[in-house]
Structure 1
Amino acid sequence: MKSIIIALFLLAPLFVSAQIKSGPMLGYSEMKEVLVWIQTEKSAEVSLRYWEKGDKNIHKTDPVKTEKSQAFIARIIADEVSMGKKYEYEVWVNRKKVSFDYPLEFQTQELWQWRKDPPAFSFIFGTCNYVNEEATDRPGRPYGGADEVYAAMYDKKPDFMLWGGDNFYYREPDYTRTGMIHRNDHARAVKSMQPLLANVHHYAIWDDHDYGPNDSDRSFPLKQTSLEMFKMYWGNPNYIFPNEGITGKFQWADVEFFLMDDRWNKAPNELNDPNKDYWGQKQMNWLLDALISSKASFKVIVNGGQVVSPAKVFENMANYEGERNQLLKELKNRNIPGVLFLTGDRHISDLNKLERPGTYPLYDLTVSPMTAGKADAVKLDYNETLVPGTLLQERAFSKIEVSGPLKDRTMTITLFNVKGEVLWTKAIKSTELN
């Protein structure tokens, strides 16, 4: 009897459910696996149970122990999945099921190649997400607000969300590893965000505020710690340069997304040299090579700052004219079809269209901010690339839908306010970008 009591005592910690701090959040989705991210309040064993919708054949993952050194984060791979299926899932902490007041579902990508036209899909794009914290915010009126936007995005039922930088904002007390963990924790744990995290797959890049201080560049001394944080808190499928920034790439159906890093190699804004680094040649060369080998209907380059607009304001790529000219020249010389850009940073939203003699126009959709403070456009924003009627100066997000047969795909961009009301819509056909 005594031995039984001792055994139960030793097992007791496994039956005390540690509270979930944030998540679950869905990371990447592929045909053969899905990443699920979960953070607990303290050390715990976390696992998943999941099953295809309509089928109660339950799959279980091995438990992952969360540790303080990794901010009590579990990154769990669901690898007993089939292609093109939707799954329901449960989170188990210390051998107890955790209850949520919203559904938990993920999906795998479909094998359509050589079989049929690619499936239709949709995704949300947004940038500049500021979460207020009185102790570290500047005095006065709170800079962040409108967190009803998370419910509005969730209601659109996208397949995934693409976070385009400034996904949270580091503050002055945050520039230690401890401070960075706190800021990531604080931004990720917003209660109204949790249903969106749990049911929509998420991919991300960074910009200055979730990399370091305002306008931070390659000289930022904690850049390696910032990179560690990004890899801990996001679920991207790959990193092209493992210890040199967050550059990556993923595909959804017939569209490829090129996730660019505009901080790691970026020269200071104040450097007076037209050929100064923006992405840096190593990253530029990778991008151009990856684009020329891509067969995607749309090749979406995701970047923190605006690329297409010639306005030399703030941190637009136009201020780095050597690299911008190289990019535009090589896109034309290499005859790369289907390229367009998604950008943020500006705290305004607009669509820019650069007409290029002898080839197709380049579009650049800027969506900013989600919950951070809005800004005013400047005179130079109203230039020849601005698509009339698209510049808005309010909090917003976009839903982008891709549909149609392989040889004639349509990308429909809709800009919404934080309540989910339509502000404008624009359709771009793949045949226009040849």
Structure 2
Amino acid sequence: MHKVGSIINNLQWPRLTLNLSLIAMCFLSGVGILLSAQTPNDWANKEGRDEMVLIYDGKTDEAIKLYQKRLVDDPNRQEALFGLAVAHAKNGEGEQAMTFVTRALGAGLPFERFTAGPREMLEPLHSLSAFKALKNEKNKLWVHGPILGAVTDRSASFWVRTERQASFAVELYPVQQGRRSKTMLSEAVLTKVDDDFTATVQVGKLKANQTYRYRLILDGEKTSDVFQFRTFPKQNRSAIFKVAFGGGAAYTPEFERVFTTIKSHQPVAFLQLGDNIYVDQPEKRAIQRYCYYRRQSSVPYRALASSVSIASIWDDHDFGDNDCWYGDDTDSPAWKRTVLKTFQENWNNHAYGSGVEAPGCYHDFYVGDVHFIMLDCRYYRTNPKVDEGRSMLGIPQKNWLYQTLRNSKGIFKIIASSVPFASGVKPRSRDPWDGYPEEREEIFSFLQQNRIEGVALIAADRHRSDIWKIERPDAYPLYEFMSSRLTNIHVHKVMEKSLFGYNAKRSFGILSFDTTSKDPALTYHIQTVDDEPIYQRTVKLSELRF
């Protein structure tokens, strides 16, 4: 059995047994087929990462063979050309290394990929006189960014990476018709080697729901590029707006265009819910940075991140490795805080946990009168196979969650988890909240006991887009909106118990809010990489009351 994967305006196609002629008709008419199998791809969700690990481990000849194999099918594969330049330089083969640098740039790879690093791995390349001459010719101080983040109704934060230590500031002004706009200037900060030459600056005293234009100032020189963003609606006031969200965003050149599609919908924020870069190497910081650099050099992503506020949490492939848990000790394994430091260097969130004693990527923020609560489902996670006392959130984060919910002034409260709450999303697996049923019930019971209304859930992890309805005795149902196939080649099958699921193409979720109406509403949309509307479902606030 297959399911036809197109639903518009809450109308679901019936389940049909499809013959070949119907499948052909569906593709010709633009209706997606839900996939249950796929062709194996050695680079799926990796894009040269494993070969870079081989170089890191000193197995350059093995990496070269694998890269060359990739070039047979695609002679201009940028990541293979980049890796070959790194590998040959490490082997002392400078002329061959520069040949692949030239080929990579000719194939469209941004030059900043070679200056960003990982610096310890690219040192042999950087020491070549031919590369030094090319670097002097390019003369590029600005490497990555800007990434807009930590936006509120009164402030915004801006992130950048430079090639070396440099001063960084931002100049901005409101976009106002018919009046001359007053220019504002942030304080100047230094990008430092200890932070991988990144820095953030914050600008306050902004107006709510106002469009601003800005440019970067690096070592006193203004960049020619001008960017634009909008502050959030006034906090705790009713508003109409939308946010986009999703996970499963392995660097995949063919599908980086999803970020262009997301930007076209003009969300006020984009929530990245984990599996954002696929590292799977918690003890190799150079590989972590390599994976971040690929995404931060992506032209479609840079265009999105410079104009839409980005908020991020991690999941297993960003924090540790597949389906990982490492216990609730904040300092064990020893690499935990280093991985968190690398995460902080590469994002621009409102906050990171609750300080040194309770670290993590969890945080919260408001857009108008909607409260977004972002959970860290990895840092404190314990063994799900030990029934007694198992926890996904850990005591410090759970205490923070309960206090945040008690104090919330949001009409809607959106709890974001990197893994789904709904039961049955991944059968026979203890990686989602099914592996922590006692803690899940504790959280849901807390909502009921404290009469906390207006809660909805969003999640990622499964490589598809879903909607689930979690029925609760003597309480309102909890709707969970899931999306986690932004760019991934790999796909997961749709589950029968979901209200709806889609996996035929890469997709993302949009939550549209209208809290100005008598019965405030949120609407979940599933949109494809090609901007095709697949599904929408509206939930009224009256449905989320006791």
Superposed, 1:26-425 pairs within 5 Å as 26-54=148-176, 55-100=180-225, 104-111=227-234, 113=236, 118-132=238-252, 145-172=254-281, 175-219=283-327, 220-243=333-356, 244-269=359-384, 271-273=385-387, 275-311=389-425, 312-314=427-429, 315-377=431-493, 381-383=495-497, 386-387=498-499, 389-405=500-516, 407-425=518-536
Which letter maps to 1:158?
P
CA deviation digits over 1:116-168, x for unaligned, max 9? x5121111101111115xxxxxxxxxxx7411101101111111111111111
Measured after TM superposition, the shift of residue 393 of structure 1 is: 4.8
For residues 66 and 289 of structure 1, do their structure 2 counterparts lie closer, same or farther at Cα, with a shift above 3 Å needed? closer
Which letter maps to 2:291?
R
CA deviation digits over 1:244-270, x for unaligned, max 9? 21121111101101111110111134x
- Structure-1 separation of matches of 2:352 and 2:428: 30
Which letter maps to 2:186?
T
Task: Say whether the 8 Å CA contact 2:280–2:318 is kept in structure 1.
Answer: no
Root-mean-square deviation (CA), in Å?
2.2
For residues 285 and 66 of structure 1, do their structure 2 counterparts lie closer, same or farther at Cα, with a shift above 3 Å needed? closer
Task: Say whether the 8 Å CA contact 1:347–1:393 is kept in structure 2.
Answer: no
- Structure-1 separation of matches of 2:467 and 2:318: 24
- TM-score normalised by the chain length of structure 1: 0.85
Task: Say whether the 8 Å CA contact 1:71–1:181 is kept in structure 2.
Answer: no
Q: Structure 1 or 2: larger helix share? A: 2
For residues 262 and 59 of structure 1, do their structure 2 counterparts lie closer, same or farther at Cα, with a shift above 3 Å needed? same
Q: Structure 1 or 2: larger strand share? A: 1
Measured after TM superposition, the shift of residue 409 of structure 1 is: 1.3
For residues 182 and 292 of structure 1, do their structure 2 counterparts lie closer, same or farther at Cα, with a shift above 3 Å needed? same
- Structure-2 separation of matches of 1:106 and 1:181: 27
CA deviation digits over 1:175-230, x for unaligned, max 9? 33333233222222212211101110111111111112112223554211111112
- TM-score normalised by the chain length of structure 2: 0.69
Measured after TM superposition, the shift of residue 430 of structure 1 is: 1.1
Which letter maps to 1:170?
V
Aligned residues: 396
Which letter maps to 2:198?
I
- Structure-2 separation of matches of 1:33 and 1:42: 28
Measured after TM superposition, the shift of residue 394 of structure 1 is: 3.5
Which letter maps to 1:298?
F
Task: Say whether the 8 Å CA contact 1:17–1:93 is kept in structure 2.
Answer: no
Which letter maps to 1:217?
W
For residues 112 and 129 of structure 1, do their structure 2 counterparts lie closer, same or farther at Cα, with a shift above 3 Å needed? closer
Gaps of 5+ in 2: 1-137, 328-332
Measured after TM superposition, the shift of residue 426 of structure 1 is: 0.8
Measured after TM superposition, the shift of residue 404 of structure 1 is: 3.9
Question: Identity percentage over the alignment?
Answer: 25
Measured after TM superposition, the shift of residue 407 of structure 1 is: 4.9
For residues 84 and 417 of structure 1, do their structure 2 counterparts lie closer, same or farther at Cα, with a shift above 3 Å needed? closer
Measured after TM superposition, the shift of residue 295 of structure 1 is: 2.5
